[in-house]
Amino acid sequence: MSSGSPDMTVDGGPRTAAAGGRWSAVGNYGRVLGAIVWKDLAAELRSKELLSGMVVFALLVILIFNFALDIRTRQNENITAGVLWVTFAFAGTLGLTRSLAVEKDRGCLDGLLLAPVDRSALYFGKAAGNLIFMLLVEALVLPIYSVLYSTDLFRPGLLVVVLLGSAGYVAVGTLLSSMAVQARTRDVLLPVLLFPVVIPLIVAAVKASAGFLAAIPMDEIWPWLNLLIVYDIIFTAVAFMLFDYVVEE
Amino acid sequence: MIEVRSLTKTFGGKPVLRGLDFSAQEGEFVALLGPNGAGKTTFLRILASLTRPTLGRVSVGGCVLPAQAAGVRRRLGVLSHQPLLYGDLTAEENLRFFARLYGVPNPEARIGEVLRLVGLSARRRDLVRKFSRGMQQRLAVARAILHDPQVLLFDEPHTGLDQDASAMLDGVLAESRARGCTVVMTSHDLSRALSLAERIDILSSGKIAGSVKHGDLGPEDFVRYYGRVIGQ
């Protein structure tokens, strides 16, 4: 037996010194988190369902905005930042819905929930996978946008904003998609739940991105960067506390 | 090993389990029978910590739910209506993933062992989405026993299995029981339950409405008793 032997504690963990037990728990947590990320990447590498859909959708959104707005005009930093974040948000929603639907449709969510580990590890595993997919899409969209509209988007500050904004978006999106996936109307429900909650994040990301593109002084950008950082911390903490309740019947 | 007292579960105010009492000793094999909607699956999901009880006390291996849920889950091997497998991964990738979730020591050897046990060694590198329903169920059995659990919760495990696969599953259950594993299995197959289990509990209207020990009743008497208990 792998558990329940005399050298096991009541919660099934090894009867070791407290510090060793803590390291063991941290190791278990990391192992589960890594396993989920590996599984999501391996499955996506084979099916290519998620990434191809997100990338094509993102490119279509950029093209549609090109017809709707005059993106090539000078002094277009606000428009560029807005178009980019709307594109990321829409493509991200597509990925979030699909990522949890794959788990739910085949009952695999139950398989994850049966793992003998704190369920927040499952949340962080799924969120890390979602963040990787979102960053991959952004890594493809940014150069294409730069080439199409002759705009240099590869500025370190902007890349930091993209990372912070995506992390916050995925943090709250993974939590809400794990709620929405329980409903039959999940495809409609997720955007309805998600977009009102991410308004502060999108506003801060657009303002900070536009600031870096226009090369305005850092003093004016810092408040927006701070808002992004605080948003990321708060919603990661909220998800850490709530995920167990959200996924259990 | 399993102690359940006054378990009640309601969904949207509608009671599914009504003050259910249940116990299973270490190494005991209990079959749960009952008509559709009696609450068998809900009961197993509560034992598996997938559903929170509304009222009552549930403990598995000394760990009380929901407070010590991780300790309970470590002891459980669960087979549900769905295989809980990823179609875009191969059979061995699925098992490798679950071995990492459960921290199975020496995973590659254990994966080879369980694949041999369920007769899927030759298909280990095939994608699960190409498997038939029966083969997926075989792999689901391998997943459920991969971490050598102390308690098996099997929800209608023979569904979708052909005769060979059913015999394989019976062998797995018998072997698990021989090494002291507690088994709780739901079924609609009265004769199979009668032949496999040490005790048969009949669940009706959210309660254990009848209980029979192995050998107490012959097959025909049992069918009559079952019909009487569920009110047919």
Q: For residue range B69-128, what is the model confidence (pLDDT) as tens digits?
A: 888 999 999 999 888 999 999 999 999 999 999 999 999 999 999 999 999 999 999 999
Q: Which domain holds residue B207?
A: 2-85+150-229
How is chain A split into domains, by residue range?
A: 18-247
> Looking at residues B20-32, what average pLDDT do you find?
94
Q: Which residue of B has its CA nearest to A49?
A: B88
> Pick from B209, B97, B159, B230: which is nearest to A114 by CA?
B97
Q: Can you tell me the distance from the alpha carbon of B66 to that of B56, in angstroms, rounded to the nearest whole number? A: 11
Lowest mean pLDDT among A17-21, A171-175, A198-202: A17-21
Q: Tell me how many residue pairs between chain A and chain B have CB atoms under 8 A apart.
A: 111
In a domain, B177, yes or no: yes
Distances (CA, A) of A179 to A105, A187, A235: 14, 12, 15
Q: Which residue of B has its CA nearest to A29?
A: B101
Q: What is the ipTM of this complex?
A: 0.89
Q: Which CATH number covers residue B181?
A: 3.40.50.300
Placement of tokens 């979708």 in the chain: B160
Band (A18; pLDDT cuts 50, 70, 90): low
Q: Which residue of B has its CA nearest to A14?
A: B71
Distances (CA, A) of A153 to A37, A59, A139: 29, 16, 11
Q: Can you tell me the distance from the alpha carbon of B213 to that of A63, in angstroms, rounded to the nearest whole number? A: 71
Question: A73 vs A211, which has greater pLDDT?
Answer: A211
Q: Can you tell me the distance from the alpha carbon of A121 to that of A138, in angstroms, rounded to the nearest whole number? A: 25
pLDDT at residue number A9:
40
pLDDT at residue number A73:
57
Interchain pair A110, B82: CB under 8 A:
yes
- Diameter of chain A measured on Cα atoms: 73
pLDDT at residue number A17:
52
Q: Does A46 touch chain B (CB under 8 A)?
A: yes
Interchain pair B82, A107: CB under 8 A:
yes
> Looking at residues A161-182, what average pLDDT do you find?
95
Write down the mean pLDDT value for chain B.
91
Q: Does A117 touch chain B (CB under 8 A)?
A: yes
Interchain pair A106, B85: CB under 8 A:
yes
Q: For residue range A220-236, what is the model confidence (pLDDT) as tens digits?
A: 999 999 999 999 999 99
Interchain pair A110, B84: CB under 8 A:
yes
Q: Does A220 touch chain B (CB under 8 A)?
A: no
Q: For residue range A21-42, what is the model confidence (pLDDT) as tens digits?
A: 667 778 888 999 999 999 999 9
pLDDT at residue number A112:
92
Per the CB < 8 A criterion, the answer to whether A47 and A132 are in contact is no
> Looking at residues B25-31, what average pLDDT do you find?
93
Neighbours of A128 (CB within 10 A): 18
Reply yes or no on whether the pLDDT at A100 is more than 60.
Answer: yes
Q: How many domains does chain B have?
A: 1
Per the CB < 8 A criterion, the answer to whether B114 and B124 are in contact is no
Reply yes or no on whether the pLDDT at A1 is more than 60.
Answer: no
Q: Does A111 touch chain B (CB under 8 A)?
A: yes
Of chain A, the end-to-end C-alpha distance in Å amounts to: 30
Interchain pair A11, B78: CB under 8 A:
no
B81 contact residues in A (CB cutoff 8 A):
107
> Looking at residues A65-92, what average pLDDT do you find?
83
Interchain pair A112, B45: CB under 8 A:
no
Lowest mean pLDDT among A6-15, A71-80, B200-209: A6-15
Q: Which residue of A has its CA nearest to B77?
A: A114
Q: Which residue of B has its CA nearest to A119?
A: B70
Q: For residue range A148-163, what is the model confidence (pLDDT) as tens digits?
A: 888 888 899 999 999 9
Write down the mean pLDDT value for chain A.
87
* Sheet of strand B55-60, all strands in order from the earlier edge strand to the far edge: B14-24, B2-11, B55-60, B63-65
Interchain pair A106, B83: CB under 8 A:
yes
In a domain, B54, yes or no: yes
Between residues 130 and 159 of chain A, which touch chain B (CB distance below 8 Å)?
Answer: none
Band (A8; pLDDT cuts 50, 70, 90): very low
Band (A10; pLDDT cuts 50, 70, 90): very low
Q: Which amino acid is at B120?
A: L
Whether a cis peptide bond, with omega within 30° of 0, leads into B157 is no
> Looking at residues A206-217, what average pLDDT do you find?
94
Band (A4; pLDDT cuts 50, 70, 90): very low
pLDDT at residue number A106:
76
DSSP states of B58-118 as a string? EEETTEEETTTHHHHHHHEEEE-SS----TTSBHHHHHHHHHHHHT-SSHHHHHHHHHHHT
Q: Does A47 touch chain B (CB under 8 A)?
A: yes
Q: Can you tell me the distance from the alpha carbon of A111 to that of B100, in angstroms, rounded to the nearest whole number? A: 13
Token duo for residue A240: 């850490």
> Looking at residues B19-26, what average pLDDT do you find?
93
In a domain, B110, yes or no: no
Band (A128; pLDDT cuts 50, 70, 90): very high
